[in-house]
Amino acid sequence: MPVAPATGQHSFVWLGTGQSLLDAMLSAIVVARSSVRLEIYMVKDSAIGVRFREALTAAAQRGVQVRLMADAVGSFGLSREYFAGLEAAGGAMRWFNELRLSSFSFRDHRKLLVVDETEAFVGGCNIAPEYYGDGITAGWRDGGASVRGPVAVVLTAEFDRQWERATGQRWDSQPLGLRRRAAAHVEHAVEALFIRPGFGGNPLNDALRQDLAGARDVAITAAYFLPSRRLRHRLAQVVGRGARVRLLLAGENDVPFIQLATHSLYRRLMNTGIAIWEYQPQILHAKVLVIDDIVYVGSANLDPRSLRINFEIMLRIRDAAFATAAREQFESDVTERATLVTREALQRDHSWWKRLEQSLAYWLFARLDSELAAVKLQEWRRRKDRLLQSVKGVRVRVRRANKR
């Protein structure tokens, strides 16, 4: 059941299924009065796609400012004319980072809706039929949350920055190592964590480091789980203090090779005392962390691509009632719809061939993908430095000429 607690100037709704999240987003668009900003990785031509298209178009027709931004790779199969009616009605649509070899790897993986600059929705759901269900009998296991309050203004501003980055590659001319951690400034109840391509300080990692330092109970639901060695060490430290760390991971994955990479970590995680369950009824796609009375929810997976290469958004919400709602979902998933991973099961499926597959998958997703992205970022930085030096040289020559 959705829960709507309130902390200070913010109120929250837990939306624990893909269907509840997408329906709530549609309902908010239908009643929008001034503006709709939708940033999405994937849109598919489908029944749910048509519903969003019609709702956005209708909003534009009644005078609401509508901006839609979809990732060019995530929505690759979608016709470029799919939203022509929206644009004809006065709405605006942009494709983020059109297909270019130089920047192909860096994707906008965010799922964000902001309505009237007062209510925002985040989660893991794309606009596609596989996300529309209860995660048990139909549709992938996913969901998210909505929040009303000042953080919606922060998210609006970030959307507008991303809107400008979408077509002009302005994002590649800025310091790519800088990732932003923006607070709503209301008793630290809500923080919006913006992850951008780069290998500098990461706002999600920074926040997790602080929250795990004194954690008593950690429950992580992760579609793709390839944490860094440092994060694995921090989770092990939590267990070493006598606290509890539990993982709910995918029993079936839409990217099986990533699952192989995750399996390569199982034995090491279990050796530190971390308990692992695998979700069974449907593909698991949710991204939720519950640390005591703090909930992280949004688009980021705990893997190198989300933490170093993609654009992502996570909300960090500190609210006991909201955390209770998220933890209740975790408990029901673990006890009713998941299988505990045991050492015996690992031993039965631990052939040399399986170990080789897992090692190869880990190298591909945890190492190679990041290394290639790092090379591209370094190339961009060198190009930017050369440009700055050229501009500086021109200015020096102009000053000298003026003095003559």
Is pLDDT at 181 greater than 80 in this prediction? no
pLDDT in tens, 249-274: 999 988 888 888 999 999 999 999 99
Is pLDDT at 93 greater than 80 in this prediction? yes
Beta-bridge partners for 244:
217
* pLDDT range class, residue 382, cuts 50, 70, 90: low
- Whole-number Å distance between alpha carbons of 32 and 56: 10
pLDDT of residue 173: 40
Q: Which CATH superfamily is domain 6-97+108-348 in?
A: Endonuclease Chain A (3.30.870.10)
Instruction: State percent of the chain over pLDDT 70.
Output: 81
Contact 30, 51 (CB under 8 A): no
Q: What's the pTM value of the predicted model, to 2 decimals?
A: 0.88
* pLDDT range class, residue 354, cuts 50, 70, 90: confident
Is pLDDT at 187 greater than 60 in this prediction? no
Domain range summary for the chain, segments of one domain joined by +: 6-97+108-348
Q: Which position has the higher pLDDT, 362 or 298?
A: 298
Strand 180-183 versus strand 275-279 pairing type: unpaired
pLDDT of residue 104: 64
Q: What is the side-by-side order of every strand in the sheet holding 10-15?
A: 6-7, 10-15, 144-148, 119-123, 112-115, 35-40, 65-71, 92-96
Q: Which position has the higher pLDDT, 355 or 217?
A: 217
Q: What is the dihedral of CA 210, 213, 218, 222, to 10 degrees?
A: 50
- Whole-number Å distance between alpha carbons of 292 and 297: 14
Q: Which position has the higher pLDDT, 106 or 49?
A: 49
